Structure 1
Amino acid sequence: MAEQRRDERDGRYGRGAQGVSEPRRRKVHAEEASAWRELVATARRTVADGLVVGTSGNVSVRVGDTVLVTPSGVPYDALTPDDVTGVDLAGRQVLGALVPTSELPMHLAVYGGTDAGAVVHTHAVHATAVSTLVPELPLIHYMSAALGGAVRVAPYATYGTDELAENMLLALAGRSGCLLQNHGTVTYGATLAQAYDRTAQLEWMCRLWLTASSVPGRTPALLSPDQLAQVADRLRGYGQPRG
């Protein structure tokens, strides 16, 4: 049964019986080409900012009914404009010859269960450390409100599995980001820029909590749910007015 389920999943993602990519290719549209360039830049930024190491982590963006996603096992600095890798919302590969990330089930689950326009998954050090210590990130800073509230930790499951995707969706309920136990982070947003900003904010808050909680004999002061709700109201109108 396990073998059958794996075969069905591999077929759904456009892979042959031997795991070789068999993409259903079509021409890349101009909007997809532009989105791919932004996706590669965002993926490289995760490395430059120390949120991932090597080929760990992955990034995706939705363009219509197509999800552009970083390929499996390819260093981000080696990606080119010709490496566009995309799947449809059912997970069938429609663009490129490179095999999509092994975390494709997780990305597709986010798009299927939320209004996400982009998803960023990292192995950020401080966030991953917090995921091993608590069931949710304590309310150490008001920017928790930007993610919908206290950031939950999804129970551990093997990477690339449906179980991990299901655990992640439960942790994301009412949130735009979560921690993956002993693994990393997932955030989403309307755009790649917003998804990335939420990733960076989450890692910073995790670092803040670890720093404060490491002081001997002291317990960090935390925000109350009411205080966080007040911030959430203010954040809704934050930024420059649109004319």
Structure 2
Amino acid sequence: MLYEKERQDVVDTCLFMVRENLVVGTAGNVSVRIGDHVVISPSGVDYETMTAEDVVVYDMAGNHVEGRLKPSSELPLHIAVYESTDALAVTHNHAVSSTALGLVVDEIPTSHYYSAMLGGAIRVAPYAEFGTDALAENVAKALDGRTGALMKNHGAITTGPNLKKAVNLLPILEYICEIQLKAMATGAPIALLSDEQIDSAVGGMKDYGKQPEK
């Protein structure tokens, strides 16, 4: 079986999204790029019963390479992201706060320094029907210079150099969205960070959590 480890990584990432309440049912999808191949979760398969063998492999042109099941309907979206960014992993979810916030804003301003983890103010891609080239194009634009974006009337997406880093951004994005929603609900002015403060936070996070070597 091609890419057995990566296919298992996709399964494990889907299960992580379930545990973190980031998906409902079989909504959402996960992929990793290996050269000209995309390893992606199948369409409509219960995450709790999904196996590595269920995960499928396609090439960057959208041609089937291996696997018996149909790929996620968002395969064009994943390919578009890989074509337009240097990402090697993509995670997409339908969590409550990120989906809700995407209904009422076109951009999440820098109200929390965690925005720096995703590259700055988080854009909301205009709505297009799931599985379409239009959605893929809209999301690719929203991800320009970012590692995360919202999808209007749909959900959220994060990217990274590997699946662990990509999926670990999903709870952070969800947290940012929940904070923004609660702040907006007060009706009071929301304090925002400047570009300079966000840039400083980006620099500070590069060494965050690194301990001196023994």
Q: So what's the TM-score if we normalise by structure 1?
A: 0.84
Where does residue 140 of structure 2 map in the other structure?
A: 169
- Relative contact order (alpha carbons < 8 A, sep ≥ 6): 1 or 2 greater? 2
2:205 maps to 1:235? yes
SS at match of 2:108: coil
What displacement does 1:44 show?
Answer: 1.3
What displacement does 1:242 show?
Answer: 8.9
Contact 2:11 2:55 in 1 (8 A): no
Could you tell me how far apart the structure 1 residues matched to 2:207 and 2:84 are? 26
Where does residue 164 of structure 2 map in the other structure?
A: 193
Could you tell me how far apart the structure 2 residues matched to 1:238 and 1:140 are? 20
SS at match of 1:41: helix
Where does residue 51 of structure 2 map in the other structure?
A: 80
Where does residue 190 of structure 2 map in the other structure?
A: 220
For residue 42 of structure 2, what is the amino acid of its counterpart?
P
- For structure 1, the 5+ residue unaligned runs are 1-27
SS at match of 1:62: strand
- For structure 2, the 5+ residue unaligned runs are none
Could you tell me how far apart the structure 2 residues matched to 1:241 and 1:208 are? 29
Percent identity (aligned): 47
For residue 42 of structure 1, what is the amino acid of its counterpart?
T
Could you tell me how far apart the structure 1 residues matched to 2:65 and 2:18 are? 27
Residue-pair matches, total: 213
Structure with bigger gyration radius = 1
Where does residue 144 of structure 1 map in the other structure?
A: 115
Displacement over 4 Å in runs of 4+: none
Output one character per residue of 1:91-123: Cα deviation in whole Å (capped at 9) or x when no partner: 111110100000001000111111111100001
2:99 maps to 1:128? yes
2:66 maps to 1:95? yes
**As a proportion of its length, which structure holds more strand?**
2
Where does residue 10 of structure 1 map in the other structure?
A: none
User: Please, which of 32, 45, 66 is the counterpart of residue 37 of structure 2?
Assistant: 66
**Structure 1 residues 93 and 203 mapped into 2: Cα distance closer, same or farther (>3 Å)?**
same
2:178 maps to 1:207? yes
Deviates more, 1:135-144 or 1:233-242: 233-242
* Root mean square deviation, CA, Å: 1.5
Contact 2:85 2:144 in 1 (8 A): no
